[in-house]
Amino acid sequence: MWFLYAFLAAVFYALLWIFGRASRGIPNGVVTSMQFIAGPFLLLFISATVDYPWDAWWWRAYLIFPFLINPFVSRMLTAAVHGTEVTLVKPLFGLSSFVTLLVAALFFGEEFSSGGILGVILTTIGLFVLYHERWNAWRERGPWMVLAGAIIFGANAAIVAAVLHLFPEPWALIGLSMTASLIVNAVVSLRTWKNVEWSSRTLFIVLSMATVLLVQEYFTAAALLAGPSAYVVSVKRTSVLITAILGYLFLRERDQSLPRLLLASGLVVAGIATLLVSP
């Protein structure tokens, strides 16, 4: 059952990137805020049954990420998707897996598997195939912002994993993180809210993003509870491939052929899977 949950998480995560690209024209801060609108409701529900360890030093240190770092990185990723084709930047975000394993190995004592070398090679080849004859894309800010986001979110994932060993309440962390991102981005972007034209299309996009984000979080948590985390994350990384297909079909991002796009995305997914599941 875990495979089905992980695959559904990948599908909805891919849809989140597609809707993010489709939200061009809506201010970045508004889009980023609205996708986390379910956060306060989830936090309120969870707080009735969970006591947060506010007095622990490690918890206070962790709060730097949800309240200071993650909200701005989320906004940066929205800006990147608005400015650059999603089929170009989504594969880059897969590099967050490498950062997660590296941080876990360096700071939390986890072993870095020998299969990591093959995983890095496959992913690198995949990215070279993707950007072949398109290196001018790096003259734009989008790829650089996504690369920076992958590094930061990768480090955050390793830290969250360590926090969960001390505070095994994943939904409590999700609710807190979503609420923090909503509040910070809503406050920072206050002046842009008046410029939004709240058409039916705008409401559909932002509410779809909020729904998709919450659903993919649910399926991710369900998969992690039902199956081995390395395999779950590997299956979820197929969102790279799914995003490429959806972007090609529905966003008409066709600067390169579909076979080449599938080959590049498939190599990235294979590289990440090899890295995560190797002994």
User: 234-253 burial by CB neighbour count: b if 16+ within 10 A, else e?
Assistant: bbbbbbbbbbbebbbeeeeb
What is the Cα–Cα distance from 35 to 236, expressed in whole angstroms? 20
Q: Under a CB-based contact definition with an 8 Å cutoff, are residues 110 and 101 in contact?
A: yes
- pTM, rounded to two decimals: 0.82
Q: What is the pLDDT along the chain (279 residues), one digit of tens a residue?
A: 777 888 898 899 999 999 999 999 899 889 999 999 999 999 999 988 999 999 999 999 999 999 989 899 899 999 999 988 887 777 777 767 667 667 766 776 666 566 666 766 777 677 677 666 667 777 888 889 988 988 887 787 778 878 888 888 888 989 999 999 999 999 998 888 888 888 999 999 999 999 999 999 888 888 877 766 666 776 777 787 788 888 888 888 766 677 777 787 778 777 777 766 665
Residue among 141, 148, 190 at smallest CA distance from 27? 190
Question: Which residue do the tokens 């891919």 mark?
Answer: 14
Looking at residue 97, its pLDDT comes to: 67
Residue among 155, 130, 161 at smallest CA distance from 143? 130
The interaxial angle of helices 229-236 and 2-22, nearest 10 deg, is: 40
Q: How many CB atoms lie under 10 A from the CB of residue 266?
A: 17
The CA angle 157-74-135, to the nearest 5 degrees, is: 95
Looking at residue 88, its pLDDT comes to: 77
* CA-based R_g, the chain, Å: 18
